[in-house]
Structure 1
């Protein structure tokens, strides 16, 4: 009987992977998650800085220039004339008050409408109905801004469908003017208010509402003491959208506002017809200062801490 001895096969030694620059960079990024996050955000932050911050700085600089009355060319000599005119002029004070009043009215109307709609979507509707309602809220955003504005112009006109419906009841439509502007802007910005409030209500635990009911809490007490403090940051977020978008709007005012003007209309007039870019830049600083003041006020209340 012969025995054969078997020797294990000799395996060829595998060379370690070559340390290429790409592999070294990948290893560094895998060990430093903050560096990964910084590189990921660098491109959008640079783009934001170029498009937004640089544009604001250029706007601020342009407001201190002037227009030569003879040639119509922009003179880059520094002056405070535009700022003084905007701050002290009665026209600009009146238009600023009108613009802020319209923006506040639109914001309040949208919040009042959005709260019950968002509450029904988040806490009452079934999951299937929630999806349908979210699509219904988003659907107006797919339509053209001008189409919606002109549609409201047709509805609110003296021979529109709304006037045809309310005339037999002794009523009348507002026609063109500030009420029409407020109605149209409220419709345009309503989805931007509903969605943040809906997201805030969706995060409210149902157990809190059930516990309040078990302890004898009434509906309004539960909403005021439990739900409202939780969704307050969401309400503030929605109000920022409605307020800021209304401050800068000028197209709706041109379509349904009649002879009334807002700050956006004055900016458009000075850029186009008057060809006075420095004065337009000075006027444009008014809504920017207002919205930054509003954000600072909201931030001091702590309403944005949980957004």
Structure 2
């Protein structure tokens, strides 16, 4: 009897404490919000921003080529070295590839995203979702190695080129200075298509989500006012889909800037920013120079986001 009373009293005390805490949090929503946001903000501030700050600080350290040691002596030599002809060529090569991949991804993704958003229904839409997401479930390394086989001489791409009878045009293209290579697997053109394939889902889904938000009544109103289909698309649908294109391009642009596996496995030996970071930090041990190269994508992405915001691309997000 006494034990039951003690148990009942303990349960009552716990329930009473829980009710008091619930009442306090209900009366003070700011406190509730603070308790919810403190853990992720601590993680973001300490781990994420702290790591970036440490990276920027290390990019100004001095590396002794003779002793192979890093000393905490501040210098701008690492950033000055970025403007050397060789390093600048690497940065520009990476930048142009990222822009080209983003543009091609948008051109390929928009028709599919448009069909998924405006026409596909039920099981058909589910099929397209699975088809878009399925490549993302496979191993990144496996997909890249698979493309080396597909693009190699004797692979499916070579078989298709021979069947279409465009071998002379194909060989002429590979001989161009900026394409380089004897096959697609050893050319910048092949590297470009592998980038597009790997990052394409990151472009399709944001565009599809943006097109889903286009109100049907706006399209109907445009038609009622006498606009032709291409005018409705150009003046109603496309402007409202731009935020999705921008959101997708942020993924394709930034992921291409930092990737080092595809440039290492596909195409000629031309280095990219990711390869330089890996080489400087892993093979040479020049952490300050690797950190300086890492700052470059951060700056480029910041400029890109600032321009996009200036143009109002995020207003509908």
1:102 offset after TM fit, Å?
0.3
Larger helix percent:
2
In the alignment, is the contact (CA less than 8 A) between 2:263 and 2:272 conserved in 1? yes
Q: Equivalent residue for 1:221?
A: 231
4+ residue stretches of structure 1 with deviation over 6 A? none
Residue range with higher mean Cα deviation, 63-72 or 77-86: 63-72
Q: Which of residues 276, 281, 302 is equivalent to 2:286?
A: 276
**Structure 1 position 28 matched with structure 2 position 24:** yes
**Structure 1 position 130 matched with structure 2 position 125:** yes
**Structure 1 position 304 matched with structure 2 position 299:** no
Task: Give secondary structure in 2 for the equivalent of 1:190.
Answer: helix
Q: Deviations over 1:194-219 (max 9, x none)?
A: 00111111111222222222332112
5+ residue gaps, structure 1 = 1-16
**Structure 1 position 165 matched with structure 2 position 175:** no
TM-score, normalised to structure 2, is 0.87
Flag the structure with larger Rg.
1
CA distance in 2, matches of 1:293, 1:182: 23
Q: Equivalent residue for 1:105?
A: 100
Count of residues in correspondence between the two structures: 290
CA distance in 2, matches of 1:60, 1:215: 56
RMSD: 1.6
CA distance in 2, matches of 1:201, 1:170: 38
TM-score, normalised to structure 1, is 0.90
Q: Equivalent residue for 2:264?
A: 254
| Distance verdict in 2 for CA 1:224–1:35, change over 3 Å | farther
Q: Equivalent residue for 1:44?
A: 40
Q: Equivalent residue for 2:175?
A: none
Q: Equivalent residue for 2:208?
A: 198
Q: Which of residues 135, 154, 161 is equivalent to 2:149?
A: 154
1:21 offset after TM fit, Å?
5.1
1:28 offset after TM fit, Å?
1.7
Q: Equivalent residue for 2:273?
A: 263
CA distance in 2, matches of 1:257, 1:268: 18
Q: Deviations over 1:140-165 (max 9, x none)?
A: 11000001111111111122111011
CA distance in 2, matches of 1:50, 1:143: 32
